[in-house]
Amino acid sequence: MRGPAILAGPRGTLLAHGTPAPLTSDLPQVGECAAGRDGAVLLARWIDAGGTAHTALRGVDATGRETWARDVPAEVEVAAHPSGRQFALSGQAGLEIVDQAGRTLVRAAGVSSARYTETGRLVVVDGAGTPRWAEPPRDG
C-alpha cells in the first residue's frame, strides 16, 4: 500500500485511500511535510524579529488528525520512516527520533542531518559532513 499524499498550503489536505481529508492542525499554513504510510509531520518555518529561525512541527495520523505538536526555536529537518511511525528530527541540537505520538525514542549528538532510505535504513551526516549508516529504533 502506498502512503498518503499531502497537499500543503493554507487549506492543507491529506489524500489517502483515494479520499481527501482536511488536515486538522493549528498551523496557519503548512509549508512542508515528511510523510510515511501511517503518519506525517507538517512543518511551518519563520524567522523572528531578532533573526532566530523557528520550526513548528505537527504530527498527524493517516486520517490527517493532529497527534502531537512542538515548536522549536531553531531550524529542524524532518525525515519520515517509510512506515510513518518514526520521524528523524535533525539540526544544530543533533538527532532526535520520535514516534507517531511525538515521544522521543533516541537522541544523538553530533548529527547534522538524517534521512531514511525507502527500505527504512537510516543514514546520518555528522558535523564534518561524513555520512554513515545508523540503526533506527525497532518498530519503524
Is residue 45 within 8 Å of residue 28, measured between CB atoms?
no
CB contact at 8 A, 126 and 115: no
Q: What pTM did the predictor assign?
A: 0.86
Whether the per-residue pLDDT at 69 is higher than 90: the answer is: yes
Q: In the structure grid, which three cell numbers stand for residue 88, read together?
A: 528523524
Residue whose entry in the numeric block shows the C-alpha cell 512543518: 43
Give every strand in the sheet of 76-80, ordered side by side.
76-80, 86-91, 94-99, 104-108
Q: Which band of pLDDT confidence, cut at 50, 70 and 90, is reported for residue 130?
A: very high
Residue 5, pLDDT score: 72
73-126 per-position pLDDT tens digit: 999 999 999 999 999 999 988 999 999 999 999 999 999 999 999 999 999 999
Q: Cα separation of 6 and 30, whole Å?
A: 10
Q: Give residue 2's pLDDT band: very low, low, confident or very high (50, 70, 90).
A: low
What is the predicted pLDDT for the residue at 31? 85
- List domains and CATH numbers for the chain: 5-134 (2.130.10.10)
